[in-house]
Amino acid sequence: MTAAREAGAPTSGRTRGRFPRPRPFKTWTLRSRVVLVVVAMLAVLGAVIGTVSVLALQNYLMTRLDQQLTSALVRGQHTADNLFGTSPTGPDGIRIVAAPGQPTGTFGTIRSGDSFLFPVILTDRQSDSTNNQPAAPRDVGVLPAEALRALPADGNARTITLGNLGDYRVAAYPLQNGDSVIIGLPLSDVQATVGQLTLVIVLVTLAGLVFAFLIANVVVRLAMRPLERVAGTAEQVANMPLDRGDVALSVRVPEEDTDPHTEVGTVGAALNRMLGHVASALTARQASEQKVRQFVADASHELRTPLASIRGYAELTRRSPHELPNDVTRSLGRIESEATRMTSLVEDLLLLARLDEGRELDHDPVDLSLLLIDAVSDAHAAGPGHTWRIQLPEEPVEVPGDAPRLHQVMMNLLANARVHTPDGTTVTAALAVDADAGQAVITVADDGPGIPEGLESTLFERFARGDSSRNRATGSTGLGLAIVQAVVEAHRGTVEVRSVAGDTVFTVRLPLALPETAAAGERPAEVASAPAEPESPGE
Mark whether 370 and 472 lie in a shared domain: yes
Q: Is residue 537 part of a domain?
A: no
What is the predicted pLDDT for the residue at 52? 95
Would 258 be classed as within a structural domain? Answer: no
**pLDDT tens, residue by residue, 365-384:** 999 999 999 999 999 998 89
Both 293 and 407 in a single domain? no
35-51: per-residue pLDDT in tens?
A: 889 999 999 999 999 99
Query: Are residues 170 and 182 in contact, defined by beta-carbon separation less than 8 angstroms?
Result: yes
Q: Please indicate, yes or no, whether residues 294 and 433 belong to a single structural domain of this protein.
A: no
Q: What is the percent of the chain with per-residue pLDDT over 90, rounded to a whole number?
A: 25
pLDDT top residue among 256 and 513: 256
Total number of domains constituting the chain: 3
User: Quick one: average pLDDT of 511-518?
Assistant: 65
Per-residue pLDDT at 522 exceeds 80: no
Whether 4 is in a domain gets the answer: no
Which among 527, 480, 521 has a CA at the least distance from the CA of 377? 527
What is the residue-wise DSSP string for 136-162?
PPEE--S--HHHHHT--SSS--EEEE-
Would you tell me how many other CB atoms lie within 10 Å of the CB of residue 479?
21
Q: Residue 298: what pLDDT?
A: 65
Indicate the Cα dihedral angle 357, 363, 369, 373, nearest 10°.
Answer: -50
Is 14 a member of any domain? no
Do 344 and 370 lie in a common domain? no
Q: Are 168 and 160 in contact (CB under 8 A)?
A: yes
Confidence of residue 479 (pLDDT cuts 50, 70, 90): confident
Instruction: Indicate whether 192 pLDDT > 90.
Output: yes
pLDDT at 190 over 70: yes
Given a cut of 50, whether residue 473 has pLDDT beyond it is: no
For residues 308 and 234, membership in a common domain is answered with no
Q: CA 163, CA 186: separation in Å to the nearest integer?
A: 12
Q: Are residues 98 and 217 in the same domain?
A: yes
User: Given pLDDT bands bounded at 50, 70 and 90, which one contains residue 244?
Assistant: low
Q: Is the distance from CB of 45 to CB of 235 less than 8 angstroms?
A: no
Residues 120 and 181 reside in one and the same domain: yes
> Is a pLDDT exceeding 90 seen at residue 457?
no
Range of the domain at 209: 28-239
Q: Is the pLDDT of residue 94 over 80?
A: no
Confidence (pTM): 0.49
Q: Per the domain annotation, does 255 fall within a domain? A: no
Q: Please state, for a pLDDT cut of 70, what percent of the chain lies above it.
A: 79
Nearest Cα to Cα of residue 481 among 499, 463, 493, 500: 463
| Cβ(124)–Cβ(115) below 8 Å | no
pLDDT for the residue 525: 34
- Asked if residue 418 and residue 350 are part of one domain, the reply reads no
Residues 6+ apart with CB under 8 A from 90: 83, 84
Q: Are residues 369 and 307 in the same domain?
A: no
Q: What is the pLDDT of residue 358?
A: 65
* Residue where one domain finishes, among candidates 355, 370, 392: 355
Q: Are residues 108 and 235 part of one domain?
A: yes
**Average pLDDT of the segment spanning 432-446:** 91
Give pLDDT tens digits for 258-290.
888 888 888 888 988 888 888 888 888 777 767
What is the DSSP-derived secondary structure letter of residue 177? T
H/E stretch holding 335: helix 326-356
Which of 315, 336, 355 represents a domain boundary (last residue)?
A: 355
On the 0-12 / 13-18 / 19+ scale of CB atoms within 10 A, 210 is exposed
Higher-confidence position of 290 and 105: 105
User: How much is the mean pLDDT over the chain?
Assistant: 79
Residue 291 belongs to some domain of the structure: yes
Q: Is residue 296 very low, low, confident or very high in pLDDT (cuts 50, 70, 90)?
A: low
3-class SS at 321? Answer: coil
* pLDDT per residue as tens digits for the range 318-370: 777 777 777 777 887 788 777 777 777 777 777 777 776 666 677 889 999 99
* DSSP β-ladder status, 426-434 and 387-391: parallel
Instruction: Read off the CATH number of the domain in which 521 is found.
Output: 3.30.565.10
Does 535 fall in a domain? no
374 shares a domain with 350: no
What digits encode the pLDDT tens for the residues 302-316? 676 777 777 777 777
Is residue 78 domain-shared with residue 36, that is, in the same domain?
Answer: yes
Tell me how far apart the terminal alpha carbons of the chain are, to the nearest angstrom. 54
Asked if the structure places residue 533 within a domain, the reply is: no
CB 103 within 8 A of CB 185: yes
pLDDT tens, residue by residue, 118-144: 788 877 654 443 444 554 566 676 778
Check residue 514 and give its pLDDT.
66
For 52-67, what is the mean pLDDT? 94
Virtual CA dihedral for 478, 482, 483, 488, nearest 10 degrees? Answer: 160
Q: How far is CA 496 from CA 195, 201, 224, in A?
A: 73, 67, 42
- In terms of Cα–Cα distance, which of 163, 151, 190 is closest to 73? 151
Q: What's the pLDDT score for residue 141?
A: 66
Per-residue model confidence (pLDDT) at position 113: 83
Q: What is the CATH number of the domain that holds 348?
A: 1.10.287.130
Q: Which one of 355, 377, 406 terminates a domain?
A: 355
User: pLDDT tens digit string along 155-175?
Assistant: 899 999 888 888 999 999 998
258 compared with 388, residue with greater pLDDT: 388
Q: Which residue has the higher pLDDT, 463 or 272?
A: 272
